[in-house]
Amino acid sequence: MTVYSGPVFDMAVDQFNVIADHLEIPCDERERILQPKRAITVSCPIHRDDGTISVFEGYRVQHLLTMGPTKGGTRFAPTVDIGEVAALAIWMSWKCALVGLPYGGAKGGVNVDVSQISKRELEALSRRYMQEMIPFVGPRTDVMAPDMGTNEQVMAWFMDTYSMYQGQTVTEIVTGKPVFSGGTLGRREATGRGVAHLARRVMDVLGIKPVGATAVIQGFGNVGSYAALVLHQLGLKVIAVSDHTGALHDAKGLDIPALMKHASTHGSIAGFSNELTFDPAEVLTLACDVLVPAALERTIDGGVAENLKCRVLAEGANGPTTPEADRVLEKRKEIFLIPDILCNSGGVVVSYFEWVQDLQQLFWEEEEVMRREYQILDRAFDHMLARSRADRIPHRTAAMAIGVEKVRAAKATRGLFP
């Protein structure tokens, strides 16, 4: 038992133990690699619009300080707790190591339902959270980014709050900012683009032609919506989409650009169409070529895994598949898994580009951002596939083994202080 214990953290531990067994890491070394280095809990009081005061609990977990600064998003959601944030921080470490970024993993969050607070209250909460975090973060210490429930505007408030305390503009303190406030071109689209790019690569491997193939997307936030858009542009029919309000299904393919417009105006897919309404519980098990879970963690359990009818499982979300489901998928060789730490890594890859551009004050064209993003994803994909084939291990085990091995080697060469 640790302060982090709970279903999501326990899942990260279970996954790590599979890798540690595969790599034959001695027991006394395992805790050093897995245990988060720092965890911060803060209380964030804000004035409500009705004149009362509410206090929200905020967290930041910095898992790994060995590789350079820590890096990871900030989640604003009612499900957030310290264990979930710790698990997400650990996954960020394996993700950054797998794709070769000079970062350890971190994650932050505030337990809040953003649909229940006003824009002014969201600004107050964002600023207070960042202000409470100032002693623990910095451009060379820990660099925040968006995640579920946060966006470019929240990043701009984080950056402004930090900068006001420094007495100068410090754009490199967060990534995922608006382009005109030190953000990079291509960050908003980066995660979804990366998911679609890798799904496309797998379709090539499997001999599936994109035009006329089908896709299903669970979650229509930043990741799900841009993955859907790029798959749609590649010629796939996106036959179903769901979000927290419900689901839509159209065997002829949904009009994704129109749905994105609707979702950005209304905040969700609700109200887009009455005729196309569908049961969200059925979305994951629809027959399709590409399935993209892009919502919360642990949505694909053992039972769902038995019933999946996709050819490619492209994990846009972090941790959507439970270890029990992994054991089912191991037997279902007809499903090609692109594991989360690879599949959604386009986001942090372009965050890294944003940080580099901010540090250098030299900004790139969008084509340059995309070219370099795809180059990194392709290289990591090739490594994962080669490792999976060489060691005869599932794709997730291969991807995580590459990440864990790099972390282990860095810790071993730096040694133990003092």
| Interaction site with ligand GLU (CB under 6 A) | 71-73, 145, 147, 175-176, 318, 344, 347-348, 351
The least CB distance from residue 223 to ligand GLU, in Å, is: 9
Q: How many CB atoms lie within 10 A of CB 256?
A: 24
* Residue nearest ligand GLU, CB atom distance: 73
Beta bridge partners of 105: 71
| Parallel, antiparallel or unpaired: strands 104-111 and 53-62 | antiparallel
Nearer to ligand GLU, 147 or 189 (CB): 147
The least CB distance from residue 318 to ligand GLU, in Å, is: 5
The least CB distance from residue 348 to ligand GLU, in Å, is: 4
Nearer to ligand GLU, 121 or 147 (CB): 147
Nearer to ligand GLU, 72 or 219 (CB): 72
DSSP state of 76: E
335 — phi, psi (to 5°)? -100, 125
| Parallel, antiparallel or unpaired: strands 70-77 and 142-146 | parallel
107 is catalytic: yes
The least CB distance from residue 328 to ligand GLU, in Å, is: 25
Nearer to ligand GLU, 71 or 396 (CB): 71
The catalytic residue among 71, 95, 107, 406 is 107
The least CB distance from residue 80 to ligand GLU, in Å, is: 13
Distance CA 309, CA 289 (A): 8
Nearer to ligand GLU, 72 or 293 (CB): 72
Distance CA 76, CA 63 (A): 19
Nearer to ligand GLU, 13 or 155 (CB): 155
Instruction: Please report, as a single letter, which amino acid is at residue 24.
Output: E
Distance CA 153, CA 151 (A): 5
Distance CA 348, CA 71 (A): 8
CA distances from 352 to 70, 168, 230 (A): 11, 22, 22
Angle, to 10 degrees, between the axis of helix 7-23 and the axis of helix 82-99? 40
CA distances from 124 to 54, 131, 161 (A): 11, 10, 10
Nearer to ligand GLU, 90 or 398 (CB): 90
CA distances from 11 to 100, 207, 238, 292, 401 (A): 24, 33, 30, 20, 16
Instruction: Please report, as a single letter, which amino acid is at residue 59.
Output: Y
Residue 14 and residue 298 in contact, taking contact as beta carbons nearer than 8 Å:
no
The least CB distance from residue 98 to ligand GLU, in Å, is: 12
The least CB distance from residue 73 to ligand GLU, in Å, is: 3
Helix (H) or strand (E) holding 56: strand 53-62
For the annotated catalytic residues, the residue numbers are 107
